[in-house]
Amino acid sequence: MAEILSQQEIDALLNNIKSGSEQKIESSSEKEAILFDFRLPNRISKNQLRVLRSIFENFAESFSSFLVTKLQTVVNINVTSVDQIYYSEYVLSVSNPACLFTFDVKDTDVKGILELNNDLALSLVDKLLGGNGLGSKQTKIITPIEQKVLRVVVERVMQDLKKAWQTIDNMEFVIERFEPDIDFAQITSQSESVLLISFEILIGEQSYLMNICYATFAFDNILARLSSQKLSSVRAIKHYGQTARDVVTHHLSKTSVPIKVELGTSMLSVRELLEMQNGDIIRLETKVSDDQKVRTGSQLLFLGRVGVSNNKKAIKVTKKLLEEHKSF
C-alpha cells in the first residue's frame, strides 16, 4: 500500500523545491554508471593495442607494396580499427557466401581467419588474370579456380604477417583451408572474445575491406611478450639495435646489379645482314686501344679496357663516371 504524506511533509517538500535544495541533492548524488561485462574481460590493454596497431601498420605497408607489383596500379592499405569483440558478433557481421581463409600459427594454439570482401576477391582474380578489375559476376561464390588464384595473394599475406610479427617473435603462419561459410570456420566458441583487425584497401579509385580475426584465448603468451616490449621499437628481432639506415645499407650491399660492357657499335644494311655467313667479321667503329663503356641498364657508369684475368675474359675499370651523373 502506498505511503500517504502528511500536510507537514508536503509543505516541507514544496519549500525544498522552491529553494532548489532538493535539486542540488539529486544532482550531487547522480553518477554515471559504467557497465562491466564479466563474460568479456579485456585481455588486451590499451598499450598492447597500440603495439598491435603498429605491427599491422607495418604489415599493411608490406602487403600494399606486393599488390602494387602484382596489379601494376596504385594500392593503399590503411588499418581502420583494432578491436576486441565477441566471436558471435563477428560471425553476424560476415556475409554469406564469404571468402574466408582459416590459418594457424605453427607450434601454437593460435588460430585465425583472413576475410577478403567478395568484391575485393573477385577484383583481385580479375586483375591477376589480366583484366581491369571492374568485371561483374552474377554470383558471389568463389569457384575452385578463383580459390587457386587467390591462394597466391593469401600466401603472401601469411609471409607479410610473419615479417610484421618478428617484432615480438618468429612465428610461422600456415594456411589451413578455404571456407565460403563462416559457420564452418569455427576458431573459438561463440561467447569467447576475438581480436579483429580491419583494413581498408584502396585499389585505384575503388575501396574494399579486409579483416583478420584472431582467437584471443590462445594469445596469453604472446600478450605477455607484448607487455615486455618497448612501445617505441617496432623492428624485427634480427635487426634490433640497428638503425633503419644500417638495415637498408646492408641489404643494398647484397643486391645484384646487372652489368654489361659495350665493346663497340656498327651500322649494317639489311642486305649485308641477310648475306652474313659463319666466319664473317663485323668491323666496329671503336679501336682495340679505345676504352669500352660499362653500363647498368641504360646508365653509363665506367670506362674500361678489355683483357684476360685468370684465363677468363675481363675488363679493367680505368675511369669512374658515376660522379658526373648526379641524377643517378
More confident residue, 275 or 6: 275
The pLDDT, as a whole number, for residue 25 is 45
Under a CB-based contact definition with an 8 Å cutoff, are residues 240 and 234 in contact?
no
pLDDT tens digits along 211-237: 999 887 767 677 776 655 444 444 544
Could you tell me which residues are beta bridge partners of residue 103?
A: 112, 175
Query: Measuring CA to CA, which residue among 127, 124, 119, 122 is closest to residue 95?
Result: 119
- Go through the domains of the chain in sequence order and give each one's CATH number: 46-243 (3.40.1550.10), 254-270+288-328 (2.30.330.10)
The pLDDT, as a whole number, for residue 290 is 81
Under a CB-based contact definition with an 8 Å cutoff, are residues 294 and 259 in contact?
yes
**% of the chain beyond a pLDDT of 90:** 17
The pLDDT, as a whole number, for residue 77 is 92
**Residue 243: pLDDT band with limits 50, 70, 90:** low
Cell digits for 270?
A: 639489311
**Residue 208: pLDDT band with limits 50, 70, 90:** very high
The pLDDT, as a whole number, for residue 232 is 46
Q: Angle CA(294)–CA(295)–CA(296) in degrees, nearest 5?
A: 140
pLDDT tens digits along 5-60: 677 777 777 777 656 554 444 444 556 676 656 555 566 777 788 888 888 998 99
Average pLDDT, the chain: 80
The pLDDT, as a whole number, for residue 148 is 92
pTM, whole model, 2 decimals?
Answer: 0.58
pLDDT tens digits along 158-206: 999 999 888 777 888 999 999 988 988 888 888 888 889 999 999 888 8
The pLDDT, as a whole number, for residue 49 is 82
The pLDDT, as a whole number, for residue 272 is 85
Q: Tally the C-alpha atoms within 13 A of residue 37's C-alpha that lie toward its C-beta.
A: 11
